[in-house]
Amino acid sequence: MPNNKLITPRKLSGFMELPPHKQIVFDNMIDTIKKVYKNNCFVPLDTPVLEYSEILLAKSSGEIDKELYHFTKGDSDVCMRYDLTVPLARFVAMNADTMTFPFKRYQVGKVFRGERPQKGRFREFIQCDCDIIGLDNLPLTADAECVNLIYETFEALKLDTLTQISNRNVLFGMIVELGHANHSTEILTILDKLGKIGKDNAFNSLQALGLNKDDADKLINLSMLKGDFNDILKQIKGLSNNPTFLKGVAELEELSKYLEAYKIPKDKYILHLGIIRGQNYYTGTIFETIIPTHPEFGTVCGGGRYDNLAGYFTDKKLPGVGMSIGFTRLFDLLDTNNMLGQFPLSPTQLEIIPLGETLLPCLELSTYFRSNKVRCEVNYDDRSFKAKLKDAGRKNIPFVLIVGENEVASKTYTLKNMFDGTQAILTKELCLEKIKEFIQK
């Protein structure tokens, strides 16, 4: 009995779904990112989408707590992961006794946040993470390696970026020096929004917390400093004798030497003391990457040093540093702004069209071409030759091999170039040669 009540097909908001021609671009970009990560000797890891709630809530901020997909199943209280860093900390804490350090891992996977969907914000999105975990200590060289990894990754993606670097100890040390340690979280939250709310609003908000005019001005002016590493470091030396402040400055000086050793072009990174990052697990170096020609995109990659993240799961000291690309959001921004370039050809390089009773020889031919690294398919659909040829054109397939009974008998086949319309009758070996020549261009 037919179902007369059809369900209207619809998709949950905040979840990306791409047509195949865009998914090809999406996957190619992911492959490019993975290749850079592998070339820098990071190993793969894939943690579960679901974690026990106490794991993910161990050190999350209040805002993220509200966004978690949180539910119970039987006796299990679970959450869907909201990032890849906390599951990494859990994994390392569980396996530290059998691991070698520093442990360099990459993970590309989906994470979930139940926030209100809006332009550029998704409930399900892919993050591309790399982290370096040490045992007992982790040299600052690792921080520089992450910055260099960001540079190499975006160069491989052919995107012009700028990485803004800071150290949380500088601003925090100044806050303590001025006697406002009890309001440090609120002050850093205000300064983190300085670019959005403006200097006057930030000033008023700081005064509302009880800061006097001079202290508010000092913190705002310090947050606004950005430019060449050496120039900014000269300006802030001597501003405070607070040990935390001095530690931050010393770490930035050391980091600068490593960045120069990596030969990262000077126009690809700056020191910007207003970079704070909201996550409360960062403890030192922090960085955010932007596309300078499109500042409205905001941060397309971020990360930093977290010395205490695994402290909730183990007594071992496991300091780390990492970077993360919110890839789904980045792809959406590039797509919306026509920055993906020309879409690539179909993954199919050759389509074989049988004429008459030639399906079996066509399947044998497809095996020959695939064994010689040509992506090939047989169009065995029961439609007209004209319709099949038209479909091959729509799919941007570069070559069609036409196989009739005469061709099977003579072992020569009609190879048609779908882009320029030329065709020739050739042996399968010469067909392969022509296709390979095209692929290698």
Encode pLDDT of 68-105 as tens digits. 898 898 999 999 999 999 999 999 999 999 999 999 99
Residues 183-242 have pLDDT tens digits of: 888 888 889 888 888 888 988 999 998 889 999 999 999 999 999 999 999 999 889 999
Assigned domain for 298 exists: yes
Residue 425, domain member (yes or no): yes
Domain boundary among 344, 361, 376: 344
What are the two backbone dihedrals, phi and then psi, of residue 14, each rounded to the nearest 5 degrees?
90, 10
- Is there a contact between 78 and 53 (Cβ–Cβ < 8 Å)? yes
Residue 258 lies in a domain: yes
| Residue closest to 106 by CA, chosen among 197, 174, 21, 44 | 44
pLDDT at 278: 67
Residue 85 to residue 99: CA distance in whole angstroms: 18
Query: Quick one: pLDDT at residue 266?
Result: 94
- If one compares 432 and 116, the residue with the highest pLDDT of the two is 432
Q: Do 139 and 24 fall within a single domain?
A: yes
Write down the H helix ranges in 68-163. Answer: 85-95, 141-156
Segment 355-364, tens digit of pLDDT:
999 999 999 9
Between the alpha carbon of residue 258 and those of residues 97, 103, 175, 353, the distances in Å are 30, 20, 28, 58
- In the chain, % of residues over pLDDT 90: 76
Q: What is the DSSP string of 379-405?
A: ---SS-HHHHHHHHHHTT-SEEEEE-H
Which pLDDT band holds residue 171 (cuts at 50, 70, 90)? Answer: very high
**Do the domain assignments include residue 325?**
yes
Does residue 107 sit in the same domain as residue 188? Answer: no
Look at residue 1 and tell me if it is in a domain.
no
Residue 327 has pLDDT above 80, yes or no: yes
- Alpha carbons within 13 A on the beta-carbon side of 288: 20
Q: How many domains does the chain contain in total?
A: 3
- Structural contact between residues 344 and 25, judged by C-beta atoms closer than 8 angstroms: yes
User: pLDDT at residue 39 above 60?
Assistant: yes
Whether 407 shows a pLDDT value over 60: the answer reads yes
Q: Is 4 within a domain?
A: no
**Does any domain span residue 127?**
yes
CATH of the domain at 257: 3.30.930.10
190 and 303 part of one domain: no
Based on the domain organization, do 140 and 79 belong to the same domain? Answer: yes
Instruction: Give 300's pLDDT tier (boundaries 50, 70, 90).
Output: very high
Confidence band of 21 (pLDDT split at 50, 70, 90):
confident
Nearest to 404 by CA among 352, 355, 351, 366: 355
Looking at the structure, tell me whether residues 180 and 266 fall in a common domain: yes
280 in a structural domain:
yes
The reported pLDDT for the residue numbered 62 is 58
Residue 426 to residues 160, 363, 411, 423, Cα–Cα distance (Å): 46, 18, 8, 9
What's the pLDDT at 3?
63
What contacts 322, CB < 8 A, 6 or more positions away? 85, 88, 129, 130, 131, 132, 146, 303, 304, 306
pLDDT of residue 307: 86
Give the residue-averaged pLDDT of 343-351.
85
Q: How far apart are CA 371 and CA 365, in angstroms?
A: 10
**Domain termination residue (choose one: 344, 379, 413):** 344
Q: In terms of pLDDT, which residue wins out, 441 or 84?
A: 84
- Model confidence at 46, pLDDT cuts 50, 70, 90, reads very high
Q: Could you give the percent of the chain with pLDDT greater than 70?
A: 97
| 59 or 436, greater pLDDT | 436
CA distance 400 to 378: 10
Indicate whether 170 and 255 sit together in one domain.
yes
Same domain, 27 and 149: yes
Q: What pLDDT, on the 0 to 100 scale, is given for residue 97?
A: 94
Range of the domain at 390: 350-439
> 384 with 301, same domain?
no
Paired tokens of 392: 């091959």
Residues 152 and 19 in one domain: yes
CATH of the domain at 408: 3.40.50.800
Q: Are 195 and 319 in a shared domain? A: no
Residue with tokens 């086949």: 413
Domain shared by 202 and 307, yes or no: no
Q: Are residues 237 and 188 in the same domain?
A: yes
Among the candidates 260, 289, 318, a domain finishes at 289
